[in-house]
């Protein structure tokens, strides 16, 4: 009983510190996003996504990850690698702006769905047209050959002075 009486305040303090750390970690990530430039934005945290994060972080490049699934097992690995993780739908233009796509060097979309990857690229194109002078390079994973052909044709037919490369 004596041991429990002394351990209870320690346990309470440890829980409070853990909660504050989690709260401030999110705030620190948002603060880092205000000044980040020339970074890589990765949409979709699958096996491909985590490999990309590790590769870019190994080269000491800043990385922002957008993942829809809050329960994704790779989120903590990304954070431990030093990547900024934003939770939400990467097709949302506001979330892409929050990830500072307009100041990014590269956007890579490797979600499970071709349509989602294409929509992310189209939203990034709109953002780049409004907010950028130098080109944003966008790499998307497309499995469907017809969609890939359609996107290539559209990319060729669009005006070339848009600061966006697909």
**pTM listed for this prediction:** 0.80
**Strands annotated E in 20-126:** 40-43, 63-67, 84-87, 106-109
Q: What is the pLDDT along the chain (166 residues), one digit of tens a residue?
A: 778 788 888 888 888 888 877 677 667 777 778 888 999 999 999 999 999 999 999 999 999 999 999 999 999 999 999 999 999 999 999 999 999 999 999 999 999 999 999 999 999 999 988 887 788 999 999 999 888 888 887 775 565 667 888 8
């Amino acid at each position: 009983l004596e041991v429990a009486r002394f351990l209870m305040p320690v346990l309470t303090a440890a829980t409070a510190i853990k909660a504050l750390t989690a709260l401030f970690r999110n705030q620190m990530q948002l603060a880092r996003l205000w000044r980040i430039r020339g970074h890589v934005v990765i949409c979709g945290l699958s096996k491909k996504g985590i490999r990309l994060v590790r590769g870019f972080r190994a080269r000491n490049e800043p990385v922002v990850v957008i993942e829809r699934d809050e329960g994704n097992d790779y989120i903590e690995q990304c954070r431990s690698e030093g990547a900024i993780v934003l939770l939400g739908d990467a097709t949302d233009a506001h979330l892409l702006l929050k990830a500072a796509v307009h100041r990014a060097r590269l956007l890579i979309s490797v979600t499970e769905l071709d349509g989602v990857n294409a929509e992310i690229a189209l939203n990034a194109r709109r953002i780049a047209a409004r907010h950028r002078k130098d080109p944003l390079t966008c790499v998307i994973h497309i499995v469907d050959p017809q969609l890939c052909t359609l996107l290539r044709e559209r990319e060729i037919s669009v005006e070339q002075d848009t600061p966006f490369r697909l």
